[in-house]
Structure 1
């Protein structure tokens, strides 16, 4: 008798995570979400030859598609153990249900079958989707089976971590996945504060940010995106799809412009070197002219509507000081400056 598998139609066809996926990619994902050999945790043994035959593909075609999905971190696949982890499984299935009385035993059996290197990241991802009571229950049930070190990941697990197992790729034209994708903590040196977002939405938010980072469309830093998403929850208007909302924020939220540090004040040696020198800018058709004073001021003449406006201003720290240091101002003679100060063009 067939089992019922649920796929959230909106969460699948409108998912920002799948925007770059081909028709083949989506077909493979639908198969993995509904496969006859799937289990309640979305991580199970899978024989590529059989999976390919059930979809109507060749084995090579199946492996090429799986490699693309692995590169997008939508799937992990270990070709030696023939084991797959469907990374979007919890977007379509409730993790909390797997800790219910009817499924609890089966869930633990499936966890025991995970490849050992996958255990820590899987548990970290899985626990993030459970409430505190369920996490405590899971820890109790797992006690004695796995050591504490096996079940934890230093600095927290990120949804965009990469798998070392998917090394097989029959696609001769496939580009190697050699670029390291920035992760949430690589973006910011301080821990990211997600306290304004419910724990059950953390994984979706992290996945959307990671996906936006991979696509190179992120305009703001991770903490700014998190803060913008948190405002929706704090205002009592939680987004219907946390992942889609976060992806949109990541794509459109501009980073707050930061003012550059002001330049250091002019040194005594600089003032000595510039004393009594005259400069103008812009280089072509200049309209501003200065004569530097050794005391750190400069006499300034600005031409506005053909009239000369005369004044004094401190040299630094200012953009003018930076331009002087970088040699971007053109020198003029002292006689020309005197003529300008008197209101006549040299």
Structure 2
């Protein structure tokens, strides 16, 4: 290892705890131990570790609570949980808690070390990506001008950085950008307005860099508390983009992309014309893609069902005129299909990608 890494080993069985600690120390880790979840949290609060290797089944504060508490305040920490119970339910709960990996006891040291190393490496990459986002924004604040071509390159760079953290979010961004550009053309937006929409669509989820992995990558529906944390990405994204000269129009799209026509959206509960036309266009494009693409916890709907949902929600969630324009494109020109694995590698296209070509 190029630099000494720190790990906290937590287990109520002294033989396992001390044995693992000794082996990690021999491999150059700065290693501390805790005999319980309560002790682990006290030690971690005083001096956080890069990694935590914890048993799940402990009296009092168990390993799941250790993982959740640690990641709540230090999402950059790599947490690996282990258990002697070969249960799918325990494994699922372990991963839902935000742990990077789940291991079954008895386990050999090489397996534990490999899991910890992979978890630490992944966290380091994510942290560097987020730091790079902030660094790039600082440079742009100092050097960027109002040249629109430069702004396009900036947006592309941000989108590529997002890809490093979450490939599915990146693919979603590409598809939605395609839908939004086609709608903007159909609705007669000026070239300047269309470019602001394109850049805003590329950057709309950039604020997700503030969302912990255990929430962003959770393989299931979010709890109310998790959803509240997820919603913070809107204003975080706005702060990032609004600070760059020349992206003011795009920043408004980022800020309003979860507002809804009837006033039920966030963060400001805007309604109808209070929401910019670009954001109203984006809402239709974004929602159609969310409806028709697979998620970890459900299959995507067909294109026909997706279009029917837009019709049903016109006037409440979506601007009726934007919905009408989208359906007109679908019915007269069709929605071109682009394989998901290819969509993430394509440049933004005036064609609408990633939807099945079906008749209503």
Looking at secondary structure, tell me which structure has more strand per residue.
1
- Normalising by structure 1, what TM-score? 0.27
- Normalising by structure 2, what TM-score? 0.27
